[in-house]
Amino acid sequence: RCVEAWAMAVPWTGFPLAELIKRVEPTSEAKYIKMTTFVDRTVALNQLRFWYPWPYTEALTIEEGMNELTLLATGIYGKPMPKQHGAPIRLVVPWKYGFKNIKSIVAIEFVKERPKTFWEELGPNEYGFWANVNPNFPHPRWSQAEERMLGTDEKRATLIFNGYEKWVASMYPDLKNRLYFNSSCQLL
């Protein structure tokens, strides 16, 4: 589900991020997982745009990373992940807006302090850290109440947490607090 109100259903393959976390055994001081994408301006020409804070970074809380729905995807449609979809590995967090699903991950760090992410740094009033799907909190420039399915252009009502409320809402203590959703979410 994109913050720009389009959506698609994708059959990802991969493994739970929780499995990596268990194998790595981060210390109890680690509260967040920071992920970084590749930088190669000869391949990714948009990275020539010097006004963007490259490399692309994204982050989750350890609790979000341990959720059984959080996936490190290595394939799509039953085939290995192609470059245009984020090879060799990408994050899939189905209850969050798409910009949280970082592609082409080259580094994963377990950190104590909440890192500032790419879009949060670029547009903090539009793209907050939490980025949970909620139809009741509009983006500053458009509604989140409906989504348009790519391929069919079918419009349908947006579901809170993209339909995963039963499995993820307990991680966010105040569902009426804009902090936990897509825009105007800066922590002070």
Tell me the C-alpha to C-alpha distance, in Å, between residue 26 and each of 18, 70, 151.
12, 17, 41
Residue 156 has pLDDT above 50, yes or no: yes
pLDDT of residue 182: 64
Residues of 48-76 as b/e, b for ≥16 C-beta within 10 angstroms? eeeeeebbbbbbbebebbbbebbbbbbbb
Identify the CATH homologous superfamily for domain 6-180.
Oxidoreductase, molybdopterin-binding domain (3.90.420.10)
Whole-number percent of the chain with pLDDT over 70: 96
State the Cα–Cα distance between residues 121 and 115, nearest whole angstrom.
10
pLDDT tens digits, 162-184:
999 999 999 998 877 777 776 54
Higher-confidence position of 136 and 22: 22
Using the predicted structure, report yes or no on whether residue 40 has a pLDDT greater than 90. yes
156 Cβ neighbours under 8 A, 6+ residues apart: 146, 147, 149
Q: What is the pLDDT of residues 114-144, one digit of tens each?
A: 999 999 999 888 888 999 999 998 888 899 9
pTM over 0.85: yes
Residues facing 157 on adjacent strands: 146
